[in-house]
Amino acid sequence: MLIFVFGVLLASLSVIGVLLHNNPPRKINKWYGYRTSKSMENQANWDFANKLAGKLLIRNSAVLTPICFGIVFLSNSIFHENANAVKYASLLCSSIILISFVLLYFEVENKLKN
């Protein structure tokens, strides 16, 4: 079950990444896209940030999918569906995904400054 949950989550991140990269929002808006004060300063920043954020989401989900699947698979095979092992595997994968979002933010914002 945990593999399914993380599989859907990471596949969704890939789809969002493809949408942002290939079909970024045309105009600055408050509802859709990579929205930070720096990205919304002007149209050039907006276009660049959304394309880059999409590319990074695709990359991150491609890297994180085998990592999270490996963590879940190992926890299931080593600990045989132990409830605590499943909790820790879930916490570890969730933390890794959250860290990837933080790193994505800093990478995009850094490139916007340059």
46 exposure class (CB count in 10 Å sphere: 0-12, 13-18, 19+): buried
* pLDDT recorded at residue 72: 84
**Domain edges within the chain:** 2-113
| Percentage of the chain exceeding pLDDT 70 | 97
Distance CA 34, CA 39 (A): 7
* pLDDT recorded at residue 4: 83
As given in the structure block, the two tokens for residue 40 are 């919304």
Q: Calculate the alpha carbon distances from 33 to 51, 88, 98, 104 in Å.
A: 9, 32, 18, 14
Q: Is a pLDDT exceeding 70 seen at residue 81?
A: no
Distance CA 15, CA 86 (A): 27
Please state the pTM of the whole predicted model.
0.86
